[in-house]
Structure 1
């Protein structure tokens, strides 16, 4: 089922399919949730899967100003609080893994379990190219 929700300035598109415990599945950067499609059949057999598209990706338009990981984390937290309604499992791919990890660091009460796929594992590879707010995380 395809839906929309207003999260602050972001008119967020998301998919919701399956039944069971909630799982928030975060897509890689530069693509949208359609990139996750091959995995949804298996996941929706066990979980209620939410696939929000981050600002400036796919069917979620961008908003004025820079796009930072910090903003995407704030949007994701608002999504979980507003749509999911409580703690969830998270799976993030690439940039989605970075967002999922940052959500877990900022709001561990919202993350029941966390799987990061092809995410950054050490800041040395990206230090200085991330948004300033993401670089300030205490590693």
Structure 2
């Protein structure tokens, strides 16, 4: 019996590298990786913009109680609504990767309250 041993490795970015026998078109693989990188970039940009808004608002609004966090979340939703570019970016990220991915990328105590507001906002925007 003949055995065919092939080395399979990972490049550390979640991509598996393995030899492929025969003629294969790798264009689809390249396009998928570029699409995933684009989604990741959009996710990071949207999360960063939300993070910056939260940091700006926490200077003027306390965030110790649930009511205070709700007020900050309402302000964020209003700022998103007033900025069509940010609004489109956030909706696009949610469609591509989900609300969980976006909220996990934001590091702030208001994020759990904000998540509910953004979910509601997203549903109304459809």
TM superposition score normalised by structure 2: 0.30
Structure number having the greater strand percentage = 1
TM superposition score normalised by structure 1: 0.29
